[in-house]
Amino acid sequence: VDPGPPWTQGDRRPGIIDLGPGYPDPDLLPVDLMREAASEAIQRYGVEALSYGVNTGPAPLRAFVAAQVPGSTGVDVLSTAGTSSALSTLATRLAREGAAVLTESLTYDLAVRVFADRGVRTVAVPGPLHDIDTRQLRLAVDRASRVSGVPPALYVMPTFHNPTGRVLSRERRIEILEIAEGTGLRLIEDHAYSALGFDAAEVPEPLWSLAPGTRLVTTLVSLSKCLAPGLRVGGMVADRETLGRLSEDGERLSGGGPNHFTSAVVAHAAAEGLLEEHVARLREQLRERRDILVGELRTRLPDGYTVTQPSGGFFLWVGLPAQVDDRALLAEAERTGVSFAPGSRFGAGARGIRLCFASCGPQALAVAAGRLVRAAHTASRSTI
Ligand SMILES: Cc1ncc(COP(=O)(O)O)c(C=O)c1O
């Protein structure tokens, strides 16, 4: 039987443990949960699950999304087909206005790609690796407003940043909101990893929660990282006028809420409390994996490397010594059987690499760390 084309993104390279892509390890994907939820949902909702869905998305799904953004209720949420799709929707509107999008100095490269593909100009705001320089942000807002005649938007990941894993302080979040209030800057908050905090330390509220109901913030929640990327389900939290306009958009009027059957299955799982249980387990599994990788790398990497311990999400950021180039280290690492995402993918001048500790199990992670350490020692000897 012809097995057909590949079913998933990414190529598996024999002999290489790949910590590059932000994919969850197949062992973390809730196959049994989804099988049961799909079967129960079709039994319970029958033809309702197979018709055009309500434009806003099913209520239990919206409630699950709202729970990630304190202060919001299901009324402030529109279901989406995930964050990439929501970014595309927002980018289409920004392109029509001629508005630019500012990004953090290091940012999720594929979000930049979505904006660029919709014809939106993006500008990286210079600043430190683990923070946002608000003086530079103000300058960039002024410049972009002058160039395009309308205030820009800022695409920002305050919580469990991709690629650095950083959490932005509450003070900085408030400062950014103040800049938005003073200038009309719109904030697109990517909250993709928000459910995946695994340390007891408090994470500051998302931007939307610090100014609930404001027109200046749109917060995007994804179920790709806390449940499964193949579902293509998420939610957008925004002011009611924006949500009203988007839910009456021709695409929804014609096709209903996106991915309605999948959304119904996820909504059922949410209503039964199965999602919360799964996410709680996942946090534990991710914490164990983070600890293995951080522990191995902190004790064994040569001088000059810095290992930042993230308190949530999928990614660990390793800073490189001045003489080591990220892509040269990648080539050496792949020769030893491990791969990662070079930092320069996420912004100019990044001196580091991103490792995804969600992408394989504890044993493979320990092996991957050993290989990376070997590659780093070789690199330090030859100052590649
Ligand atoms: C920061 C960030 N935003 C969005 C996405 C994609 O989200 P979705 O699968 O909901 O489109 C990713 C996936 O890697 C991500 O890291």
Residues with CB under 6 A from ligand 1: 22, 82-84, 108, 157, 162, 190, 192, 222, 224, 229, 234
Query: Rounded to an integer, what is the distance from CA 106 to the centroid of its chain?
Result: 13
- Ligand 1 centre to CA of 363 (Å) is 26
Residue position matching structure tokens 């912004």: 347
For residue 233, the ligand 1 atom closest to its alpha carbon is: 10
State the pTM of this model: 0.96
pLDDT given at position 335: 97
Give whole-number Cα distances, 76 to 6, 26, 150, 380, in Å. 38, 33, 26, 52
Cis amide linkage into residue 21, ω under 30° from 0: no
The count of C-alpha atoms lying within 13 angstroms of the C-alpha of 317, restricted to the half-sphere facing its C-beta, is 24
Nearest protein Cα to ligand 1, atom 15 = 192
One pLDDT digit (tens) per residue for the chain, 384 residues: 666 778 888 888 999 999 999 999 999 999 999 999 999 999 999 999 999 999 999 999 999 999 999 999 888 999 999 999 999 999 999 999 999 999 999 999 999 999 999 999 999 999 999 999 999 999 999 999 999 999 999 999 999 999 999 999 999 999 999 999 999 999 999 999 999 999 877 899 999 999 998 999 999 999 999 999 999 999 999 999 999 999 999 999 999 999 999 999 999 999 999 999 999 999 999 999 999 999 999 999 999 999 999 999 999 999 999 999 999 999 999 999 999 999 999 999 889 999 999 999 999 999 999 999 999 999 888 754
Q: Which two tokens stand for residue 90?
A: 């927002």
- Ligand 1 centre to CA of 83 (Å) is 6
For residue 84, the ligand 1 atom closest to its alpha carbon is: 11
For residue 157, the ligand 1 atom closest to its alpha carbon is: 1
pLDDT given at position 270: 92
Q: List, in sequence order, every residue forming a beta bridge with 315; answer none if it has no partner.
A: 356
